[in-house]
Structure formats: structure tokens, C-alpha cells
Amino acid sequence: MRTVRQLLEAKAPDIYSVTPDTPIIEAIRLMADKRIGALLVMDGPRLAGIVSERDYARKVVLQGRASEDTPVSAIMTADVFTISPDDTADRCMVSVTERRIRHLPVVKDGRVEGVVSIGDLVKAVIEDQQLELDQLQRYIAS
């Protein structure tokens, strides 16, 4: 099974983030521009939280807040579940399923190294299963 480190090596190295005081409208624009569903919230080098489209829908739109006047810190998830580069894709799949989350920041020694999404995990699991299936078919045919 692949490690998170291997998943990150196969992706673009970009990490998109905002600061806690960024107006939520700017965060939503960045997510739309980059075609992503969540942004890390960084306070300098420290991971302060994560904000997602779901946060926006539930905590701004449904509560009638103003997107221009609401800072990211007002709606972000501050208690962020993180993973290590040494974690496996299988372990991460269990975590996203049990916690009902879609994005996992990758942190090593207090430093953010990337983000793994549920889409990244599903892709890795499918590729690994296909490889195993191909190997089994070759074994049976030989």
C-alpha cells in the first residue's frame, strides 16, 4: 500500500492557504480559481485551521453572514486532523470515512508538507487494486 509521501510525490506540490483574517469571499474565490474544495489556514508557518466550501455553505450562507465581512477564522475548523507522510492510503481512507472529512493536511515536525484529498486516496486505492488484480491474473494464467 502506498504511503502519503508517495501520494504527495505524484501530485503538484502547490499548497493553497489563507490567513485567519482573510475575508471569506477571498477564500471562496481562491478555491474557485484553483478548483479545490478547501484551503489551509496558516498563521505564519503554523497550521491554524482548514476552511472548506462546506464550511462556507453551512456557516455563512445558511446563517446569513456577509461573505465580505466575515473572516476565515470565524468559520474555519481549528481542531484540524492531520496525517504524517508515513501514513498509508488505507489508514487515511479509514480516517476520512470515520471522521466524515474530505481533506487531510500532511504535517511532519510541525511543518505542513501538503494536503491529501479523498479523491487522491480513492485514485491510489483503485490503482493499487488494479495492480494486484493484474498480478493475480498473470499468476493464474501461468
Give the model confidence (pLDDT) of 67-116 as tens digits.
Answer: 888 999 999 999 999 999 999 999 999 999 999 999 999 999 999 999 99
pTM attached to this predicted model: 0.85
The one-letter code for the residue type at 86 is D
In the CATH hierarchy, which fold is given to the domain comprising 4-141?
Answer: CBS-domain (3.10.580)
Q: Exposed, middle or buried: residue 103 (CB in 10 Å: 0-12, 13-18, 19+)?
A: buried
pLDDT tens, residue by residue, 37-64:
999 999 999 999 999 999 999 988 888 8
Listed by start position, the domains of the chain span: 4-141
Q: Rounded distance, CA 49 to CA 72, Å?
A: 9
